[in-house]
Structure 1
Amino acid sequence: MCWCWEGMAGAVQEVMWAAATLVRPAAHVVVVGLDSAGKTTLLLRLRYGHYVNAVPTAGFNTERVVAGGGRWVVWDVGGAERVRPLWRSYTRATDALVFVVDASAGEERVEEARVEMARVCRESGASSLALRRPRPPLLVVANKQDLPAARDPAHLAKALGLPDLPEAQPWAVAPACAVTGEGLEEAMATLKALLDKQRQGHRQ
């Protein structure tokens, strides 16, 4: 039964993908974040439309997704400490960044996420400058909003130092729960709006 549902959801995604191809090429998106933040759960929920049990990602996963009014090629890269140096290769020349954070995590874990997120933004900004491309917009997904200790987006934005990012770095925070799917469609719509605004400004 589960297989059939996944097959149907996959078929719907393929039809939507083909239709969207006629409008605009897919945007390349890289999803990063600390281990156990919910990155793969988020990707599979977007792809199949329901919860899929995920195992820790040692390397990467990639899926074609239609969500938030956009068409995306999404790369989900493992978040274990030993894997994080590889993020640089995946985020180079990407169209957009998604940084998934466990909004219910303790202060030390959030601080660790802040440091890693700042590094990703710094490195992607440097590579964009070298390639004469605009900085990829950053969407922080405040995941696990179903948990009692989850921080709201405003609190999390401050804790992650988002207001201190360079002015040239577009960013937004979106609350979500990857397990239930709540907020994910809106999150991707927010990312699309950031990307559209950035592309329009770059053309001008």
Structure 2
Amino acid sequence: MGLHGSKQPEAQVLILGLDKAGKSTLLYKLRHDACVSTVPTIGFNVEMLEARKKSVNFILTLWDIGGQAKMRAHWKSFHQDAAAVVFVVDSSEKERLEEARKELENTLRSEQLRGLPLIILANKQDVDGALTATEISDTFNLKKICSTRDWFIQPCSAKTGFGVQEALKRLVQLVKLPSDTATVKDSIKETVHNLAASSRR
């Protein structure tokens, strides 16, 4: 995703989670502020949003990847250019929580996703008996499995819109822009240059 001339920086975000977790509904709520009835995603959906971070305007490209078992094997194909991961959990489906936890752990083991920020969306909070964000955080042992990355869990409802904008704001704060990476690389270069210069004195 090379940057050419005045083209805005772009940050690609993966939206992952089990089938029927509400990923596509959340995507369209974010993009169009509308509750859209969706069918299971075979493949992926892509939407782009304009965002702003530290006075930098950039494009947030959201990749909603299908969550059926046969699609999960292809998730890793999308890891390479990701700047953040959003993992959607159906808070009302307690019997699939362990399955979701295993898929999240498996995803976070990816070398290409190492250190990237993670936002867990505890979706379907409008359903009676839905687990709280704290209960999901404890079940997933997030403090342990996310010890080397920035992470946040947001209770939300794609259906009602509750928590969706808060999730987007947090995502924009946490997402790693190409310029963030460049700054780190520049500071490393500067350090190496200074070390080399001092060794010559």
Same fold (TM over 0.5): yes
The equivalent position to 1:170 in structure 2, one of 150, 153, 166, is: 150
Shift in Å, 1:142:
0.4
Q: Establish whether residue 78 from structure 1 lines up as the match of residue 62 from structure 2.
A: no
> What amino acid does structure 2 have at the position aligned with 1:181?
G
- The separation in 1 between residues aligned to 2:68 and 2:152, in whole angstroms, is 24
The one-letter code of the counterpart of 2:122 is A
| Greater C-alpha radius of gyration | 2
- The reply on whether 1:52 has 2:36 as its aligned counterpart is yes
1:158 aligns with 2:138: yes
* Amino acid aligned to 2:64: D
Instruction: Indicate which of 102, 118, 121 corresponds to 1:138.
Output: 118
Runs of 5+ consecutive residues of structure 2 not aligned to the other structure: 1-5, 188-201
State how many pairs are aligned.
175
1:130-157 CA-to-partner distances (Å, cap 9, x unmatched) read: xxxxx22110000001011111111111
- TM-score normalised by L of structure 2: 0.78
Cα distance in 2 between the residues matched to 1:68 and 1:25: 10
> What secondary structure sits across from 2:60 in the alignment?
strand
Note if 1:100 corresponds to 2:85: no
Post-superposition CA distance 1:107-146 (Å, at most 9, x none): x3111100000111111xx1256xxxxx221100000010
Superposition CA RMSD, Å: 2.5
1:196 Cα offset (Å): 5.7
Aligned to 2:13: 29
Contact 1:99 1:138 in 2 (8 A): yes
Q: Is the 8 A contact 2:84 2:176 kept in 1?
A: no
d(CA) in 2 for partners of 1:165, 1:93: 22
Q: Which amino acid aligns with 2:78?
A: Y
Among residues 24, 27, 37, which one is paired with 1:40 in the alignment? 24
Question: Which one has a larger percent strand, Structure 1 or Structure 2?
Answer: 2
Partners of 1:102 and 1:85 lie apart in 2 by 20
